[in-house]
A and B are shown apart, each in its own frame.
Chain A
Amino acid sequence: MNLLSAAIADVPWIVWAIVLPLAAAAAAFVRPNTNAWLGAIAALAVSAVVAGLTRQVWQLGPQRYGVGGWGAPLGIDLYADGLSVVMLLMTAVIGVFVSVYAIAYFADRPSYFWPLWFFLWGALNALFLSGDVFNLYVSLELITLAAVGLVTLAGHVTAVAAALRYLLAALLGSLLYLLGVALLYASYGVLDVASLGRAMTPGTVSVAAAALMTAGLAMKTALFPLHFWLPPAHANAPAPVSAVLSALVVKASFYVVLRLWFEAFPAVISSNAAQFLAILGSAAILWGSLQAFFAPRLKALVAYSTVAQLGYLFLVFTLALPGETPTAWLGGILFAISHACAKASMFLAAGSIERVAGHDRIAELDGIGRRLPVTFFSMALASVTLMGLPPSGAFIAKWMLLEAAVENRQAWLAVIILAGGLLAAGYLFRILERAFRPSTAEPPLVVPRTMEVAALALALIALSLGFFTAPLLDLLHVGGPQVGNFVLEVTS
């Protein structure tokens, strides 16, 4: 037994977390007709690997792995700390349930979903484990390519047009980011995030690099007003793809912003810049909610809701910047995770409705709660999280963000945070209310059981996340150099 646990502790899980999904992608590509259940099994295997890495990080602290034995600054370093592991876990949980859902969803047609999806998963894992800015760039590009490919799977013209728009926007974002990387490399000669953080000195070049990289990433994260590509892409993709895009892909680029702002750029970031991001984030909350309120279609509503909810994430920087506690930082990450689970559930449920009802026009969904009880129930539970009401993780996250806003005397942000919740209730009850309207007695609709269960499970996870905040925060604190260093930089 001891031998086994010692063996588990020694495996370089950090590498397998990237290699395994890529291998699954390759296998799915050469054998496209294999039973789709293999996809779910592969998803479980990847999750097991992530669990192994989590255990390592939890017990031994942050893990660094020099690929090919070279190590930074010459070689490529993979790096896993609490934050990376939490993001990997989020990806794994959503990955498993999306895979389960996709089995039935794509059952009736041959599809490149599986290879692209595992390729995307591998790229996401690579991003969360990258320790240097160039590696981050490469993973970002891989993510974009896989994601755009997945959007086109819907097959109709609107989806292809949306995918093309998405591709152009994302490539522009990558380009800006790459420019920033070049500037940094020219000035400091290193790419490693931690080394950059140590070497960083204020100056025009550093500021320009920070601005370019942030702008590129904001484009990829669909921060208002750069969100124009998101609603069509997310609303027109197949449901499992929408779920992955809204839950994970936009979080990936946000994760890079978070890493850079807290670890590489603390020396050059001004509080005005952070305030500027918060203003854009607030505008996103208001504008996204407004658009969601008037969206005629269910998936479009959910997509605009993503625009709004992403706005919350960009409030973190101004709330964490002058503070001494990482409350806002932790709250932001918790918010991202809760949103990921709830939004994935929402898109999966919307996909089920669209699949069996043949449309997703909100005005024609009267009585849907009785025709599709489990699916609708998942949607209602996910809505509670999106409104930020207890006991969801989003409620705890909002509590933390509010606490930071009060502590920093940013009353206007407190108002925005609360107003965002009320606006979310405004657009989400448009859907929920439909369930209570009388409808002509129509027969119940049937959705494959796996599709129902996947959506419900994710909604339940999002809702109960509030009870698991404490261990999650402990994990985030592991090797929290991001917080520790950052506080040092600011207070010294």
Chain B
Amino acid sequence: MTFDSWVPLLAVLSSLVPGIWIFALSEERRVLRTVLNLTGALAKVALVGLMMWGVYYGRQYEFRVPMLPQLDLVLRADALGLLFVSLSAILWLFTTIYAIAYLEGSPYRSRFFGFFSLCVSATVGIALAGNLFTFVIFYESLTLSTYPLVVHRGTPAALQAGRVYLRYTLAGGAVLLLASVWLYQLVGPIEFDEGVSVAALGDQSRGTLMAIFALLIAGLGVKAALVPLHGWLPVAMIAPAPVSALLHAVAVVKAGAFGIVRVVYDVYGIRFSEQLGVTTPLAVLAAITIVYASVRALFQDDLKRRLAFSTVSQVSYIVLGVAVIGPSSTVGGMVHLVHQGLMKITLFFCAGNMAETLGLRYVSEMHGVARRMPWTMAAFAVAAFGMIGVPPLAGFISKWYLGLGAVEASQPWVLAVLATSTLMNAAYLLPVLHLAWFKEPQGPWHENLPSGRLETHWALLMPPLVTASLSLGVGLFAGAPFSPLRWVTLIVERAYAP
């Protein structure tokens, strides 16, 4: 094996090894824990950068070990996987910095950061999985490593959220496992890079293939929070803010959405999916999710809960993009994988900052908060405008391509869905901005943190400012080389190549 074949494994190990090490540390070893966390995060970013460079110039990164006679554990860097893994690696770095500050002084930090690292290892495994079998392995591992983070606080509400989370995700995992085994039994190992073997089965097993497709989507749809499988996500917002960032932007819902992209593109193939007639129902499901969750978001006073419903809605943009067949909508959907991550993590960081610094959790308490925390609310505003789709922010690029794709595919109803959703995004995000920026504070703030020169701890403030700038940057410089948009265009050109 050459060095290149070890790189994908190293990308997984760069968080797995520090994670296991951190478990063994006592609570007081703060410095070593921080060093381990940041070294792992930086190493991962470097490894991912290396792979992006290499893949762009046509190098192969593949790690393979046999598990069963015909079934290998495969980690392979391809363009689509790198899109996801680069998002996770970069956001993980900032989430780690944020979490170190956020959890300062709270108990059980070794446990927290241990599982935090395992969670990201599983996500990297999902992104780099080279076949369906490997994908399932890491998908299940992600469920397990996230649970301790959801219940981290140990309150009855957190434990209840953990139970709900497990019920949904373990059942989803079982369904995904069944579908994968069924497919394996029909066509052998499903490698993601070998063209599409499912199509070779032809017409006689159409019914079976449709059933398997439905099972795959159901299994993945739990993590992607497709309505009606989204119930766990709003409940899980009870977890600490860094965990919400992980659930909503870095790992969990993204893993589900990414899996759906894989299924449509690399397992079934776009053309065969279309022939099979399974993409239209998927698009309808995504559209229902988008509209329904936006409506629910309107009525949430708890800020994190409002954002959670917003995630449910926004992640389905990705699904909608891949389900409406056509290059432009695919670009829109895939690029939203990155864009939504950047914007949503900013929103959750900001919500966390308000809760941590001033104890604010409800929208109705946010009168004039921008005067006390101008930088936080500025980042919040950038991300919120991005979500709504104001040019030139990230969300605008996604919506533009989605809309373009809908026109190309002559599916005008998708445009209607996008318009409705945009209006509702505005309706549930703009009032927050209005309250924060243009209303008088209702009284003195409850200061939870000792206030220094900055409005809050620097490590709480820096991550949202960086991710907000990024969500501005990927929109503004969408045409630059190695921008998410350019990268996605590269993937889509390859997928639609004759």
* Residues of A bordering B, CB below 8 Å: 370, 377, 384, 389-391, 395-396, 398-400, 402-403, 406-407, 414, 418-419, 421-422, 425, 429, 433, 436-438, 466-467, 469-470, 473
Contact = CB atoms under 8 A, between A and B. Distances in A.
A433 B152 CA distance: 10
A83 to B, nearest CB: 17
19 contacts: A384-B144, A389-B140, A389-B144, A390-B138, A396-B67, A396-B68, A399-B181, A403-B181, A403-B184, A418-B174, A418-B175, A422-B170, A429-B163, A433-B163, A436-B152, A436-B158, A436-B162, A437-B159, A470-B69
B141 A390 contact: yes
Contacts of A422: 170-171, 174
A473 B68 contact: yes
Contacts of B173: 389
B67 A406 contact: no
Contact of B67 (A370, A377, A384, A467): A467
A414 B140 CA distance: 18
Nearest to A419: B174
B288 interface: no
A390 B136 contact: yes
Which of B68, B136, B178 has its CB near the most chain A CB atoms (within 10 A)? B68
B154 A425 contact: no
Contact of A438 (B65, B144, B154, B177): B154
B151 interface: yes
Contacts of A370: 108
Contacts of B182: 406
Contact of B151 (A390, A414, A433, A470): A433
A310 B138 CA distance: 27
Nearest to B136: A390
Contacts of B459: none
Contacts of B181: 399, 402-403, 406, 414
Interface string B163-176: 10010001101110
Nearest to A374: B24
A470 B67 contact: yes
Contacts of B498: none
A155 to B, nearest CB: 37
Nearest to B137: A390
Contact of A407 (B174, B178, B185): B185
A370 B181 CA distance: 39
Contacts of A437: 154, 159
A421 B175 CA distance: 12
A470 B154 CA distance: 41
Contact of A470 (B66, B133, B140): B66
B177 A429 contact: no
| B-side interface size class | 35 or more
Contact of B65 (A399, A433, A467): A467
B231 interface: no
Nearest to B183: A406
A390 B126 CA distance: 13
Given A390-B140, A433-B151, A437-B159, A402 B68 contact: no
Contacts of B68: 396, 399-400, 469-470, 473
Contacts of A400: 68
A151 to B, nearest CB: 34
Nearest to B158: A436
Which of A407, A425, A436, A473 has its CB near the most chain B CB atoms (within 10 A)? A436
Given A390-B140, A422-B171, A437-B159, A403 B185 contact: yes
Given A389-B144, A407-B185, A425-B166, A402 B69 contact: no
B234 interface: no
Which of B108, B171, B181 has its CB near the most chain A CB atoms (within 10 A)? B181
Contact of A436 (B65, B137, B159, B171): B159
B159 A414 contact: no
A89 B177 CA distance: 30
B148 interface: yes
Contacts of B178: 402, 414, 418
Given A433-B162, A470-B68, 10 more contacts: A391-B141, A398-B177, A400-B68, A402-B178, A403-B181, A414-B181, A422-B174, A429-B163, A436-B158, A473-B68
Contacts of A421: 170, 174
Contacts of A419: 174
A429 B185 contact: no
Contacts of B159: 433, 436-437
A407 B177 CA distance: 15
Nearest to B141: A390
A437 B23 CA distance: 18
Contacts of B151: 433, 436
A467 B171 CA distance: 25
A370 B108 CA distance: 9
The 9 closest A-B pairs by CB, nearest first: A390-B137, A418-B174, A402-B181, A406-B185, A436-B154, A436-B151, A438-B154, A470-B66, A389-B140
A333 to B, nearest CB: 14
A419 B174 CA distance: 8
A405 to B, nearest CB: 8
Nearest to A433: B159
Nearest to B72: A470
Interface string B71-113: 0000000000000000000000000000000000000100000
Contacts of A398: 177
Given A391-B137, A422-B170, A433-B162, A473 B65 contact: no
A110 to B, nearest CB: 37
A91 B66 CA distance: 26
Contacts of B152: 436
B67 A466 contact: yes
Which of B136, B154, B171 has its CB near the most chain A CB atoms (within 10 A)? B154
A370 B162 CA distance: 19
Contact of A469 (B67, B137, B174): B67
A406 B166 CA distance: 26
Contacts of A384: 144
A410 to B, nearest CB: 12
A421 B69 CA distance: 24
A429 B166 contact: yes
A400 B133 CA distance: 12
Contacts of A377: 23
Nearest to B122: A390
Which of B108, B163, B175, B178 has its CB near the most chain A CB atoms (within 10 A)? B178
A236 B451 CA distance: 58
A426 to B, nearest CB: 9
A59 B240 CA distance: 57
A370 B177 CA distance: 34
Nearest to B23: A377
A418 B136 CA distance: 14
Contact of A473 (B69, B140, B162, B175): B69
Which of A390, A422, A470 has its CB near the most chain B CB atoms (within 10 A)? A390
A436 B159 CA distance: 8
Contacts of B137: 390-391, 395
B412 to A, nearest CB: 41
A391 B163 CA distance: 22
